[in-house]
Structure 1
């Protein structure tokens, strides 16, 4: 809220945004607000429209129709001013391999017009944030994959932007390195930086995002905090049943007749909102079910019929 008691404008606002590539519609009438100071996770499988949305925000792609505002600037008309105020961490590594970690940051500090008097401190702070101070004189080509990804994030933060766009920030990294980067991203959120993060990792969205926007076929189909989404669409518990196709069809039929959502995944059927299963139906379903906690993947599969992979 502002001092006058009115709600602060969102850091990002999209209204009716459409992006077509020939006959293919990548983004389809997208409405999306990202409140300032929050982390919003764009969650969805490959092809859902997440990366295209990121490119629209940075004017790497121009919308077919609709309006976009980033930090109060109209995009693409004022995209240069918007880009100067935001940090962008791309999915693809585009660091200069012939330069050291520090030199990569110095180049971007200059490009983003960090005042000369503050440039050294800005680079030092970015290196410290990314835990790369000890490797600042190392050429990028000699850094590990995890270090390079941390440097990419540091590069997007060297000018201390109000907004950071992270496009699949941990894709292709092993679990240990991914966990290290989660700590770095969580620190941004804790410091009040607005973060828009696209991801197809369920645990990443659950761990980092204040809210998730679930995308499918270029649209947001559900939005809310991870816990609220799970509560609304999947309930607290799930019962998984395994067996031959006719057995799974029987479980689906009985569950749906009782108004319970189900999720079919390969050789199993999950009955969601298991805590609401009547005792009589529990007996009919049989003792072969395995109970577990619900998660965001259950929500996504139920809403779209797709898996997040």
Structure 2
């Protein structure tokens, strides 16, 4: 993507976005709702057309050659659009045919996708009778049935309970290990930290920082944060003292966190009082860069 802009009336959803995804990399688009992540995904699949800029996927210009681009990528949408009257196997077989998997290879392609998504024992179950987690796994399997070179995951675990989310994470991690190129939008901090080789942090339609998660933390938040609780006046005092000493702080409801706590001098540490040490996160990076929370 080069200098891509998408507007909806007076709202600029994507604002001059430049984005490259190297082959074999899992790139996470991290940001709050409204950052432009889903709009970016819709433009990549030609469901939405950019007002300006250029989009190229594996050598194909989008939307001009969107059919050819779709043939070499798999898409896992945010919304469940499975045919609930078909079985798991039938859903996959339909997509294998739509993606022109040769007839002699379709059975093998479906069996492979079932195995990847751990749905072999549910192959003949009607989709309407699957749990929410199994349906999400089927969406991923469907996107992989034609062995795409690129997989787009738009908020792949949104609305799932933690246990099911962990199952999906294992499946996505398997794609990464297998060398599949993945572009994943998410607003879950841990999801981006665990699954992505690189994270592009989005805010107001732009990428404001991009690097490996560990390097983003080193550059913008450090290794640890000191978290303090108390009445608003006390939190404001802590933030002021830490700021005066050159430390970045972030306020989260009943607490204030001081970033790069590992560098705090003993005198400041003693003056601020007892704080809870925790590992720094990509949300700390996002807040440090934008002043906003990822939610």
TM-score by length of 2: 0.98
State the Cα distance separating 1:150 from its structure 2 match: 0.4
Answer yes or no: is 1:116 the counterpart of 2:109.
Answer: no
Which residue does 1:209 correspond to in 2?
196
Tell me the alpha carbon deviations over residues 150-202 of structure 1, each in whole angstroms, 9 at most, x when there is no partner: 00000000000000000000111111111111111111111110000001111
1:174-185 aligned at under 5 Å gives the runs 174-185=161-172
Aligned 1:213-228 pairs, distance under 5 A: 213-228=200-215
1:294 — aligned with what?
Answer: 280
Distance 1:278 1:284 in 2: 10
Equivalent position SS for 1:34: coil
Tell me what 1:88 maps to.
75
RMSD over aligned Cα atoms: 0.8
For residues 94-109 of structure 1, the aligned pairs below 5 Å read 94-109=81-96
Match of residue 294 from structure 2: 308
**Alignment partner for residue 191 of structure 1, among 178, 183, 186?**
178
Q: Figure out how many residues of one structure are paired with residues of the other and give that number.
A: 295
For 1:44, the equivalent position in structure 2 comes to 31
Structure 1 residue 117 displacement after superposition? 0.9
- 2:141 counterpart of 1:154: yes
CA distance in 2, matches of 1:263, 1:308: 13
For residues 114-145 of structure 1, give each alpha carbon's deviation from its aligned partner in whole angstroms, at most 9, with x where no partner exists.
00010110001001111111111111001111
Ranges of 4+ aligned residues in structure 1 off by more than 3 Å: none
Map of 1:138 onto structure 2: 125
1:283, CA displacement in angstroms? 2.2
Gaps of 5+ in 1: 1-13
Q: CA deviation at 1:45?
A: 0.8
- What is the alpha-carbon distance in structure 2 between the residues aligned to residue 90 and residue 294 of structure 1? 31
Distance in 1 between the 2:221 and 2:139 partners? 36
Q: Which whole-Å deviations, capped at 9, do the CAs of 1:203-238 have from their partners, x for residues lacking one? A: 111110001001111111111111111111111111
1:73 to 26, 51, 60: 60
TM-score (norm 1): 0.94
Task: Tell me, in whole angstroms, the C-alpha distance in 2 between the residues paired with 1:113 and 1:120.
Answer: 13
Identify the match of residue 250 of structure 1 among 237, 246, 249: 237
Per the alignment, residue 221 of structure 2 pairs with 234
1-structure distance, mates of 2:15, 2:94: 37
CA distance in 2, matches of 1:237, 1:141: 46
Q: What's 2:159 paired with?
A: 172
